[in-house]
Structure 1
Amino acid sequence: MNLPAKSSGLAKLLRAGLWLIGLCLITGLAVTLAYLYSAQSNISGKRTIKSLGDSVAITFDESDVPHINAKSQADAYFALGYLHASERSWQMEMNRRIASGRLSEILGHDTVKIDRFVRTLGIKRAAERQFDRYPVSAKRLLQAYADGVNAGNAQLGWALPVEYFLTGSKPGHWSPTDSVAWMLMMAYDLGGNWQKELQRLELSQYLTTKQVWEVIEPYENDEPVSNMDFSKLYRDLQVFHPAPGPIESKPKNLPATELSQLDQMGARDGIGSNNWAVGGKLSASGKPLLANDPHLGLSAPAIWYFAHLEAPGLNVIGGTLPGIPAVVLGRTDKFAWSFTNTGADVQDLYIEQIDPKNPGMYRGPDGPLPFKVHQEIIDIKGSPSLTFLVKETRHGPVISDSYAKAKRTIDTDRFALALRWTALDLENQSVIGLLDMNHAADLDQFKQALRKNYAPMQNVVMADAEGNIAYQAAGVAPKRILHQGLYGVAPAPGWERQYDWNDYVPFEQLPSINNPEQGWIATANQKIIAVNDPNPLTGDWELPTRYDRIVDLIKSKSIHSTDDMKAMQGDTLSLGATPLLELFKASQSSHPLSAQAMEIGKSFDGNMKVDSVGALIFNAWADQLTRNLFSRLSYLFTENYGARNYRAPLIRQVKNPNSPWCDDPKTEKIESCQESSNKALDKALDYLSKKYGDDPKTWVWGKAHIAISEHRPLSKVPLLGSLFNIQTPFPGDGFSVNMGRLELIQTENPYQTLQASSLRTIYDLSDLEKSLFVYQTGQSGWVQSKLYRNMNSLWANNEYLPLQMRPEKTGRQLELVNK
């Protein structure tokens, strides 16, 4: 009769287990409370820092924008670095690792390809060479900023942002060259068209040059900038891989914003921005109004951190980029400025012919030349290191050894692809240009500072309190002559001297405008040509939908106010949709919900409001119609649809009711564009009913068009992703002024957006203290902070916060002292 003893033993084990669980819970709670108490996520009071020159006072306003008051510019930049590290330490650590190709040290195998490609480009090596040529005065300011970053990281103590614990890492040392390297990564994101060149090369395996231009076409009704039959050129040279095909799938546990570092940066349709200025004769105040909303990838925390820097010779407020010691977009107390991407073609691919007798040599214009070679070692978490060789030609780094799409396209036993890119030039000192812009006392000095901007080339729209408005394209771009050679639209034979860059366009020949008679200036990545130079800066401008809409809105009123600027930034009419509305409304479907859906759809006018049902039906139809026309391109379509939206060729082709692209090659019958449209509507309604239910009245655009600010690198990790990511229903599409580019085939939800207005600013030059701003997350990079996501709903609803040098209300205060 031992049963009671056994029961007693089990009870003891159960009690011990419960006690252990309780102890673990109590310990976990204690550790969590200790962490939250110790975490320096809302710093205030006095901090002693030995490396600081003199004391710095920092006051935070109601929006948590810091106002840095320093006795020297070096101390001001030190304080900015200190705040960047205090508020955005993990973001800066990721920026540093991305630019130096060192992600795999903490993230493992999934990022090896990214690291290898960045090492191949030589971003950090180029930054070091460029920094060596910086003047001593600029080096000191960058060093002061770096010292501030390292001091800020040091003060965090053991309670680091939680991302460090999750990845088993710690903040690394920040150097001045890390700032230069991050500027190069920004230039890469905005820098050129080499991926489009590669796409044209890939398409040339299967299409004629004429057909390639139908898929990746010239700007609107323009003729191509090159008349060369490049498809025939490549076939004659026999450059193609003998067995081309799709590349292996991407890692599923990395955010799209991370993968874009390798696959989509610079290649995405819709990347760009809006800016415009109306002069005093068109404004209610009698002084200019200036607006800006740059379109970049949405990340959490945001790419921007707003700050005000004040020191002798320095008084500037606006958006800074953690990692770079400057206000990139903002204002002084006398003038304001704004950027959009010019889109100049500053990257060219060259096909280099390898010497069959000596693979260490390649063909030059006057005979064989040796590849420059150096060794790189990537340390990989949990695995042995990867050692590989990086080759360079006279044009630049050879990317076909490390970029899968290039490697699978050409015969790498006989050829290599090298990249020529302005940003890698020794002469690039763009960070100095930013510093000089911040120091400018007036608009004339600011324009002089723009001469030092090298890469990326930007459309700069400016206005000052005296009533001036101005525009300047700032940066370097190779000088090209229309219809001569390949004009950078496709890879060129590297041994032919005629394709080499001979010179850059002089600053004086870049497009510029001062106080135009019409009284306004606007840019939105549309085609821009200088009056004194008829040669376009690229053959790959964006569709002018946003620009045309901005012009319509400016011309719609004789007098504009700040509220009008807000309404323009929030405008969601898509001029990329309106050319397709007639075909959409003429479409017929056999789907059971067709009558209900199209009763709603037929009243749709192209306005992508968040509560619009017609917007969702239209976009699903346009998506399916695009797939109908271009999926015959197989992997060359599916790999790029999303990075490229194919809207321009779609509009062009359906203008011809019997376009051969509308025919389904899988059927014997020859289909018209209307028949293809009907099939697209069938597919769209089938998708929508399965995804959103059988009541079309509930299919509102905001259910599908979700703006997601992705965390690097935790956005795809279960549970953690929902904690770190920030998402909200969002209006617009890739062609509206309030832009939200669709991801299409690249994600499970094809209509979500990962790229939109990364910030909005409005400046009233009659009183610059009335300036406004907003962006999609918050100032803090600490996920537990209420300031991590506090601006998100304001941003989504097109609301704003004050951007004041003299704020009416202030919050916490921080003093940095050296003893």
Structure 2
Amino acid sequence: MGLIFKWLLRLFMLLSLLAALAVTAVYYLASRSLVDYEADYTVPAITGPVEIIRTNSGVPHIFADADEDVYYGLGFAHAQDRLWQMVMLRRTAQGRLSEIFGERTLNVDKLIRRLDLYGLAQRSVSAQDAETKSALEAYSAGVNAWLRIVNEDALGRGAPEFFVFSPKIAPWQPADSIAVIKIMALQLSGHLEEEVVRARASLLLQPERVRDLLPDTPGQGIAALDYAAMMQGLGLPRYAANTSGPKDPLSPFPERELAGASNAFAAAPERSAAGGTLLANDPHLGLSAPSIWYLARLDLSSGGVIGGTIPGMPVVLTGRSDKVGWGLTTAYVDDQDLFIEKLNPENANEYLTPDGYKPFRTAQSIIEIKDAPSQTINMRWTENGPILPETHYNLGTITPLGHEAALSWTMLTDKDTSIQAALKLMRASTTEEVIAAAVDYVAPAQNLTIVDQDGIALKTIGHVPRRHPAHQSRGRIPSQGWLAQNRWLGVMPYASNPEFTRPAGGILGNTNNKVIERPFPDHVSYTYGDTQRVQRWRRLMLNRQVHTRDSFVEAQLDTVSFTARAMLPLIAADLWFTGEAAPEGTPERLRQQALEIMAQWNGEMSEHLPEPLIYAAWLRALQSRLIRDELGPLESEFTHVEPLFLERVFRDADGAGVWCDILQSAPVETCTDISRLALDDALVWLSEKYGPAIESWRWGDAHEATHDHQVLGKIPLLSAVVNIRQSTSGGDNTLMRGRTSGSGPEPFQNVHAAGYRGVYDFADPDSSLFVMATGQSGHPLSRHYDDLGVLWRRGEYIPMSLDPELARAGSVGTITLTPASE
């Protein structure tokens, strides 16, 4: 027995030693790609020395005599800190994910290839002016310089992920940077899916009920359209139920209700306590580790620029210079239209146009797939745009037999000069110059909030489609592609895009809300990303005669839900303090407890309180009870509560109270009945998940920010290293927005929020502040992988200074690039 124990002990010690050696080897290989921020390199393709000074937060301040060398330095810094992220963005745009991930990403690659994103980016290079081409080439050269150093010095393949996946990295090219902005357009556009869902709803519901479920943003506009009537006689859709599966984390296509959101607001000098203009901006995107954002300062010949960049592009997308500041919010311009194209029954290679049948433009593309044979796909285009696969966004559910769906989209152009506009913007010195520079911007459409030394402005930038006044659906649902009146007539003049300069009230802002009301076809959109946050923002702005940097920070971090304050009195009007006394442990008693604490709640979505959790679960259960019997499988498309829908139902607007009656039951249920049942549903779910004691429930336990690594985040053990999870306040409709996932076992996880926050005070520019949601580095072993995320979660910031001496004084390392002798 002793001998067996002795050998078992030896075996255990041997296995422990081997495990320790394996961990040590993995750590050594991974740590080889950690960046040394104090180093000198001799590199080609620069005209003079370049300094990359990194502050204690890992923010690079890049100095050089020539602008092209500054862009070179930014490419070098981006590649050092975010090489894997850049390669993934490029692979996504090229439709080449399946080469390393296999069949799981095949559908993503197929769709990207059909859109021809990378081909459009390649052809757009020739559309740039000479200065932009020089900047793109210099940036690419900087990225490639770091790639050469990684290979020559064996620096761990540049990132730990390349030990798990293919280490082959092609040189960076100017087209790659243009492709990245096209990926951003994908992530910020949702009108395509909105058209499909509206069409599917109109196949099930009467027009007035579609108006309830998918309400227009308040203001005049079309309420609903009858898709079945428009397509009458064309045949039935191919499928009757959902055909798309769960969204892969690597897919750049957003969920319908996660298509982009942001806040930006500005105050003129007369509304500023210190007498200088103020600007705050927090663009919202899907959370990830690392964040999509990267902080940087560029010392250009026109002056210093600092703010948020996206690795892969040589531009500061949101930030400030000494003279101007600018912020971005998604404009929700209706820049996508679906067209139902009729096939020639005698020749399926032709489709109907206003001038008769014409052949599709076609091409083939080969997709290489890891561990599987390659596939060749046939790509087709009509005059309206690319033909999309029938499974994408459930297009098969609304496409008649003998027809195909094609997409028109402003982003699908081979003359995309959006980066050219961004580079010009960085050199502007007044709001007028910024607006003039943005004329070259194409997509994704944005509201650009601008301040200079003495004025403020807001301009919608990006191409807005020009539609015929007699358009069948006005862009609301798919229309017949062979009718001339449905086709786009080009784009609207840039001067007609909404513009507000130096308003009399001295305050401008946008929370993705509707900014202007104009009749079709001069409208911007019928649906927007916000009808709720703007109400709270307006109150905070009007509560003060003058604002300060701190009041803008306070607004940016505000967690009070206007929606909760407005909805609870409606849905609980007949429930407050009613009902018989109930004993402990009964559902009735639990309901009474919940209603008592909710009656005293001020709507603050604090992570430390139970009320936000009860409120969120109640409204979610309520909407589900209202729509599930009418919509059937289509209910799965409505993952988030629509406040305007609930308001219409509980106010019985145009008979919307009929939603409260359950069709399959004999009794006629009232809205009070459904509200009470939904509250009980929510309380049962919460009790099972978080225990029976209401006082122990916490919103932050459910509303956890999920900064997950897109690839390694699902691997056991590794996930604990690469994923960043944080308890957070806020919610779907608060200014400090934390959009919930809306589905799955954790429907209230915070998955879409402000990855960047900036507040710029032009009375004292060096007191300006910014922060990002994770850290500068994409390397999990770096201290800069999550250091800024700690501040972000607490609502704290770091200084934003353009003073070179302050950058040098706070430096933790300087990388010097010296030109190689020829």
Please indicate, yes or no, whether the TM-score normalized by the shorter chain is above 0.5: yes
Shift of 1:751: 0.9
Q: Take 1:531 and 1:212, find their aligned partners in 2: how far apart are those partners?
A: 22
Whole-Å separation in 1 of the counterparts to 2:350 and 2:388? 16
Aligned length: 800
Which residue matches 1:788?
A: 785
Shift of 1:229: 3.6
**Matches of residues 407-806 of structure 1 in structure 2 within 5 Å?**
407-411=396-400, 413-465=401-453, 467-480=454-467, 485-529=472-516, 535-585=522-572, 586-587=574-575, 590-634=587-631, 636-642=633-639, 644-656=640-652, 659-745=657-743, 747-806=744-803
Distance in 2 of aligned mates of 1:595 and 1:476 = 53
Quote the offset at 1:728 in angstroms: 0.9
2:32 is equivalent to residue 44 of structure 1: no
Q: In the alignment, is residue 167 of structure 1 matched against residue 155 of structure 2?
A: no
Residues in 1 aligned to 2:77 and 2:524: alpha-carbon distance in whole angstroms: 38
Shift of 1:810: 2.0
SS at match of 1:214: helix
Q: Is the 8 A contact 2:362 2:381 kept in 1?
A: yes
Measured against aligned partners, the alpha-carbon deviations of 1:11-39 in whole angstroms (never above 9, x if no partner) come to 89758745753552453254245335533
For 1:767, the aligned partner's letter is: D
Q: 1:471-490 deviations in whole A, cap 9, x for unaligned?
A: 11111101347785311100
The alignment partner of 1:784 has SS state of coil
Inter-CA distance 11–702: structure 2 relative to 1 (3 Å threshold): closer
Q: Does 1:119 align with 2:108?
A: no
Tell me which residue corresponds to 1:234. Answer: 231
1:83-122 to 2 correspondences below 5 Å: 83-122=77-116
Alpha-carbon spacing, 1:288–1:262, altered in 2? closer, same or farther (3 Å): closer
Does structure 2 conserve the Cα–Cα contact (< 8 Å) formed by 1:430 and 1:454? yes
- CA distance 1:244–1:79, change in 2 (3 Å): same
Q: Which residue of structure 2 aligns with residue 291 of structure 1? A: 280
Residue segments in structure 1 that go unaligned for 5+ positions in a row: none
CA contact (8 A) 1:239 1:415 kept: no
1:362–1:368 contact (8 Å) kept in structure 2: yes
Cα distance change of structure 1 residues 404 and 283 upon mapping to structure 2, 3 Å threshold: closer
Does residue 817 (structure 1) correspond to residue 814 (structure 2)? The answer is no
Question: Which residue identity lines up with residue 707 of structure 2 in the other structure?
Answer: S
CA contact (8 A) 1:108 1:383 kept: yes
CA drift at 1:427: 2.9
In 2, are the aligned partners of 1:291 and 1:565 still within 8 Å (CA)?
A: yes
- Is 1:395 aligned to residue 384 of structure 2? yes
CA drift of 1:51 comes to 3.5
| Structure 1 CA distance for aligned equivalents of residues 225 and 9 of structure 2 | 82
Q: Which of the numbers 367, 370, 385 marks the counterpart of 1:378?
A: 367
2:149 to 140, 155, 162: 155
Distance apart, 1:460 and its partner CA: 1.0
Residues 1:753 and 1:146: Cα distance change in structure 2 (over 3 Å)? same
Amino acid at match of 2:241: G
SS at match of 1:405: helix
The SS at the match of 1:416 is strand
What TM-score comes out, normalization by structure 1 length?
Answer: 0.93
Matched position secondary structure for 1:564:
helix
8 A contact 2:567–2:643 mirrored in 1? no
Report the Cα offset of residue 239 of structure 1. Answer: 4.9
- Specify the alignment match of 2:583 in structure 1: none
Deviation at 1:723, TM superposition (A): 1.9
Matches within 5 A, 1:344-363: 344-363=333-352
Moved more, 174-183 or 522-531: 522-531
RMSD: 2.4
- Greater shift in the superposed pair: 123-132 or 322-331: 123-132
Amino acid at match of 1:814: I
Which piece of structure 1 moves more, 759-768 or 190-199? 190-199
Contact 1:581 1:605 in 2 (8 A): no
583 and 43 in structure 1: CA distance in 2 versus 1, 3 angstrom threshold: same
CA change 1:758–1:26 in 2 (3 A) is closer
8 Å contact from structure 2 (residues 468, 486) kept in 1? no
Q: Equivalent residue of 2:215, what SS? A: coil
CA–CA distance in structure 2, aligned partners of residues 592 and 41 of structure 1? 59
The answer on whether the counterparts of 2:261 and 2:284 sit within 8 Å (CA) in structure 1 is yes
8 Å Cα contact 2:278/2:549 also seen in 1: yes
| C-alpha displacement of 1:726 | 1.1
1:708-764, Cα deviation, whole Å (9 max, x unpaired): 11211222332222321111111111111111112122x321111100112111010
Give the letter aligned to residue 664 of structure 2: K
Give the counterpart letter for 1:718 in structure 2: P
SS of structure 1 residue aligned to 2:515: coil
Taking the aligned partners of 2:107 and 2:226, their CA distance within structure 1 comes to: 33
1:247–1:83 distance in 2 versus 1, CA, 3 Å: same
The answer (yes or no) to whether the contact 2:220–2:517 under 8 Å persists in 1 is: no
Higher mean displacement: 733-742 or 200-209: 200-209
Contact 1:226 1:489 in 2 (8 A): no
Q: 2: CA distance between counterparts of 1:389 and 1:683?
A: 49
Mapping of residues 236-251 of structure 1, within 5 Å:
236-241=233-238, 243-247=239-243, 249-250=245-246
TM-superposed deviation, 1:698: 1.2
Q: Distance in 2 between matches of 1:249 and 1:534?
A: 36
Which has the higher mean CA deviation after the structures are superposed, 692-701 or 21-30?
21-30
Query: What SS does the aligned partner of 1:420 have?
Result: strand
Tell me what 1:136 maps to.
Answer: 130
Return the letter of the residue paired with 2:360: F
Structure 2 letter corresponding to 1:309: L
Amino acid at match of 2:201: L
Distance 1:119 1:591, change over 3 A: farther
Query: Offset of 1:87 from its aligned partner?
Result: 0.2
User: After superposition, where does 1:195-234 map in structure 2 within 5 Å?
Assistant: 195-220=193-218, 222-225=219-222, 229-234=226-231
Separation (CA, whole Å) in 2 of partners of 1:778 and 1:392 = 42
CA 22–228 in structure 1, closer or farther in 2 if over 3 Å, else same: closer
Structure 1 vs Structure 2: percent identity of aligned residues?
Answer: 31
User: For the Cα contact (< 8 Å) 2:186–2:254, is it kept in 1?
Assistant: no
SS in 2 for 1:711: coil
Change (3 A) 1:448 1:648: same
Q: Is the 8 A contact 1:230 1:490 kept in 2?
A: yes
Shift of 1:230: 3.2
Please tell me whether the aligned partners of residues 44 and 145 of structure 2 are also in contact (alpha carbons under 8 angstroms): no
Distance in structure 1 (CA, Å) of the matches to 2:663 and 2:36: 61
Question: Which residue number corresponds to residue 262 of structure 1?
Answer: 253
Cα deviation for residue 224 of structure 1 reads 3.4
Measured at CA, do residues 270 and 240 of structure 1 come closer, stay the same or move farther in structure 2, by a change above 3 Å? Answer: closer
Q: Please identify, of 174-183 and 718-727, the stretch whose mean Cα deviation from structure 2 is larger.
A: 718-727
Cα separation, partners in 2 of 1:591 and 1:168, compared to 1, 3 Å: farther
1:487–1:539: 8 Å Cα contact kept in structure 2?
no
Tell me, what secondary structure is at the counterpart of 1:389?
Answer: strand
| Matched letter for residue 803 of structure 1 | M
